[in-house]
Amino acid sequence: MGYLIVFVVLIIICIEFYLYKKDMKNAYARLNHYDVHALTTSFGKMNYLDEGSGESVIISHGIFGGYDQGITSLKQVLGEDYRKIAPARFGYLGSELPSDPTPKNQAQAFVEMMDQLNIEKGYILATSAGGAAGLRMALDYPDRLKGLILLSSGAPDQKRTPKEIKAMGLQGPPPFIVNDFIMWFSMKHFGFVFNKMMGSTIESNNLFETMLPATPRRQGVKADSEVTNTDMSLNYDDYALETISAPILVCHAKDDPMAKYEAIKKLLKRVKADTVICETGGHTIDGNGDVIDQTIRGFIEKTS
């Protein structure tokens, strides 16, 4: 009986290993399929995708993102319309990680990218952890924005000290999970954990496929966890939202477990913004795609 159990376990391990190698080969092949461009900013190399024509919409992607997640999000929202630019933020998918990967510096890198791409003014669509860089663009470079779109974005809610931030614990995933095998295994066999964490169903949205491969995103995830996700609290007074002059659209679900709606309510008291606030949908606003997409496109048409 013992030998049979060992044999069955070995068979399961072999199958799992085969599936892992197959899926990761496909994940890396998917990355290699993109027509990736690169440019150099004051903070080093930045990889990006540039597709379509018309009004320029730049995405500031979330944690575990990259140019692949960015372009997937833009296509889900905008379809084939507009010029869609999806840079990989600091530390993601070959974009260099500078010594000070703050949202303020990320915003500067975005503007330098716009300069090199001959984009005088454009839209920034900021999602999740990418929201801080989007807000910094609106604050620091108002003359370069036609509009700011906050989609399931983080927002400054209150000032906190380094001690208070530390007491809150990790501001991102545990470092050990940012690994190809562990992330693959977790998503494959413990999808319910991700569903609870996101408030969404990972099987229903191909955006989650862009979390793999995980290893090339490790530096970016670390930077988001340690710098990006704490910046709006540590430097709360520097986010003078009342001074933003660009048109703003806020799209959010009240039950988002990652980017809390309470922070968005505070933001909406400080800025004038168009809104789409959904009762349910979680972090990816599941089930509300049509109204979100139509509103974003309408916002661009209205403000362009």
Render 257-298 in DSSP notation, one character per residue.
SSS-HHHHHHHHTTS--EEEEESS-GGGTTT-HHHHHHHHHH
Average pLDDT over residues 70-76: 96
Predicted confidence (pLDDT) at residue 205 exceeds the cutoff of 80: no
Predicted confidence (pLDDT) at residue 8 exceeds the cutoff of 80: no
The verdict on 5 and 47 lying in the same domain is no
Instruction: Quote the pTM value.
Output: 0.94
Using CA atoms, how far apart are residues 45 and 154, in angstroms rounded to an integer? 26
The verdict on 21 and 143 lying in the same domain is no
- Shortest CA distance to 51 belongs to which of 83, 79, 89, 88? 83
The verdict on 55 and 12 lying in the same domain is no
The verdict on 17 and 114 lying in the same domain is no
The verdict on 12 and 147 lying in the same domain is no
Chain centroid, CA 77 distance in Å: 14
The verdict on 99 and 6 lying in the same domain is no
The verdict on 220 and 292 lying in the same domain is yes
Using CA atoms, how far apart are residues 109 and 40, in angstroms rounded to an integer? 9
Using CA atoms, how far apart are residues 29 and 41, in angstroms rounded to an integer? 27
pLDDT score recorded for residue 198? 86
pLDDT score recorded for residue 169? 86
The verdict on 115 and 24 lying in the same domain is no
DSSP H helices in 34-179: 67-78, 103-116, 131-140, 162-167
The verdict on 164 and 76 lying in the same domain is yes
Q: Is 233 within 8 Å of 167 (Cβ atoms)?
A: no
Predicted confidence (pLDDT) at residue 75 exceeds the cutoff of 70: yes
Half-sphere exposure of 119 (CA within 13 A, CB side): 23
The verdict on 156 and 169 lying in the same domain is yes
Q: Is 84 or 208 the better-scoring residue by pLDDT?
A: 84
- CATH number of the structural domain spanning residue 50: 3.40.50.1820
pLDDT band at 13 (very low <50, low <70, confident <90, very high): confident
State the residue range of the domain holding 205. Answer: 36-303
Average pLDDT over residues 292-297: 97
The verdict on 47 and 188 lying in the same domain is yes
Count up the domains in the chain and report the number. Answer: 2
pLDDT score recorded for residue 42? 98
